[in-house]
A and B are shown apart, each in its own frame.
Chain A
């Protein structure tokens, strides 16, 4: 359940690249809803037409094509905007001039989270099969660790560029490019800035593809993140984000409200072992307020679950606050589906008493609650 990163589409990454003067091919962006014909009249063809959609393998899915003429481009754009892959639609189309490719490279700066550092990664064998290169011939991948305190030094960048085989003018271009990638990483708080392929043309280096992910936790000081974070979510997930808990829609029929990602996942695993399936993953988060629990329950009700399972092990979360939120919701939704509650941890006695006074039982053991849920679902 990756909740820490925001993925940019190619054209959004390239807007940032452009701000940092990273060389790009001539390009034109058509956002969904704009007049396609009017826009492409400004562009020369042949050109490459790329769907901007939050899924990988766009080439294999036929979402990237070359248009020889303006008419061909027009019909491709119209077709692309009607395409869907799973829940994702094409949000924009990027049209780019064709690069005269002499060689394809790979380069990126990425967070190595277990190493707790950033790494500059490059290879002279760029293109879409870079993962296979990494798996089968790791020696073809060059890695350079970067200290945040010291930054990426020009000497280190030069070392990587030389290992890629660059010399003369192109060596300077490559060093300059790596330094710019590092600036983007620190200034935009990226966890990944990737160019694959980075193409050598007769006129120098060109970033033909671009990929970035940003750190959601930095939203308080990065306006761009706030702007982008709302985009990829379903309506329910947007509500969850606004109120402040993590939420993922699943395929089952039992509404789940729990605290802690690990415990919520373990709960879903245990349910699966008993032939029960959750309708959602909902981690109400640490130190949940009454309002947050109330909003979470309301959100679960809107999904029409057959039953609701609440599983709280309070640490920083207080059982009494959770119990009060449950009561408030029950008053407002008298016809809500059956609810099984497990409540333990910080302020457990107070929480259980609040529910008991209202005639509601709460279990202290999770397996007892799962047993009760099985009865309810029969």
Chain B
């Protein structure tokens, strides 16, 4: 389970500007933020939320099971490791610019401990009307049965809001983050919502680069997924990107163009729309 309405949330980096600002927005949304952590600032209160020195203390005191990270990139590795070692089920890394090698290590640790990481450089997760764990606008859409899974932040706000405007409800919104190495891959998040009983349609928001969308297409084919998938891929007009030497091509094959991703998803029955605003109509055909 990723998060629920009852998740008990600790904010790591709650005394910083971003941490404090978004704690307030999460509290206003109704998220159960019950503790904050900033080393050496234990004993304080921020917006009425008690601050601890360590995640372990917050776990001992309140049984927190979910963490959201607002600490600077250079301290993120330590902060996330602390959350994993305290056994926190889901750690959501908002921070941008975390070194790749730190993320590879954290992903290895999370896998060993069977705990969940999401991000870095992610807007987080939202279950409309229930819980907001992140920095996305809270008023994009109401609760319903369409899951939105995105690589990109703002573009996914755009599309989720378009769903809301078209009166399509959302079962969950999840941003996997824009960095090369992520706690949850697009396929892992997709798999979660394929199995989620409350989700009838999955909206996938991708973009050029990498092979995440191709991997999802492969998964749909291998697992014979019958749940409808509607997608939008950004970057059709982008000039051809630079490639990372030969090894990148050897690992992932010649993939990563918008057209390649569109073809891959369409070949397994996905519906890929021309613009972001065509998504709601395409989704409605399945509801």
Residues on A facing B (Cβ under 8 Å): 1-2, 4-5, 7, 106, 108, 110-119, 121, 130-131, 134-135, 141, 147-149, 186, 189, 191-192, 194, 196, 211, 213, 215, 217-218, 220-221, 248, 250, 258-263, 265-266, 268-273, 281, 285-287, 313-316, 344-346, 366-367
Contact = CB atoms under 8 A, between A and B. Distances in A.
Given A194-B247, A346-B137, A215 B155 contact: no
B42 interface: no
Contacts of A287: 18
A192 B158 contact: no
Given A4-B179, A213-B244, A316-B18, A148 B157 contact: no
Given A149-B108, A265-B235, 11 more contacts: A1-B208, A1-B241, A135-B253, A135-B254, A148-B105, A189-B99, A189-B101, A196-B246, A259-B154, A263-B152, A281-B238
Interface string B119-134: 0010100000000001
17 contacts: A148-B104, A148-B108, A149-B109, A186-B101, A217-B100, A250-B239, A259-B154, A261-B152, A263-B153, A263-B234, A265-B208, A266-B155, A266-B234, A266-B275, A273-B275, A315-B157, A346-B137
Contacts, number: 198
B287 interface: no
B185 interface: yes
A195 B241 CA distance: 23
B245 A272 contact: no
Interface string B134-159: 11110000000000001111111110
B243 to A, nearest CB: 8
A2 B209 contact: yes
Contact of A262 (B96, B108, B134, B205): B205
Contacts of B151: 262
Contacts of B94: 316
B73 A130 contact: no
Contacts of B155: 260, 262-263, 265-266
Given A250-B239, A262-B154, A131 B18 contact: no
A285 B137 CA distance: 16
Contacts of A106: 246
B245 A263 contact: no
Interface in B223-255: 232, 234-239, 241-242, 244-254
A121 B251 CA distance: 9
B135 A148 contact: no
Contacts of A192: 244-245, 247-248
Contact of B250 (A121, A147, A315): A121
A215 B101 contact: yes
B74 interface: yes
A189 B123 CA distance: 26
Given A114-B210, A261-B207, A270 B275 contact: yes
Nearest to B249: A131
Contacts of A119: 251
Given A4-B179, A113-B180, A141-B250, A315 B100 contact: no
B55 interface: no
Nearest to A118: B104
A115 B181 CA distance: 8
Contacts of B247: 108, 110, 121, 192, 194
A215 B100 contact: yes
Contacts of A4: 100, 179-180
Contacts of A218: 99-101
B29 interface: no
Nearest to A311: B154
A186 B241 CA distance: 26
Contacts of A367: 277
B157 A313 contact: yes
A269 B237 contact: yes
A327 B76 CA distance: 35
B65 interface: no
Nearest to A345: B137
B63 interface: no
A213 B245 contact: yes
Nearest 5 A/B pairs, CB to CB: A262-B152, A260-B154, A110-B247, A262-B155, A263-B154
B112 to A, nearest CB: 8
Interface in B91-118: 94, 96-101, 103-105, 107-109
A192 B251 CA distance: 12
B182 interface: yes
B153 A260 contact: yes
Contacts of B241: 1-2
Contacts of A1: 208-209, 235, 238, 241
B154 A110 contact: no
B237 A315 contact: no
Interface string B82-98: 00000000000010111
A266 B158 contact: yes
B201 to A, nearest CB: 20
B235 A269 contact: yes
Contact of B185 (A108, A116, A273): A116
A259 B137 CA distance: 14
Interface in B251-279: 251-254, 274-277
Contacts of B208: 1, 265
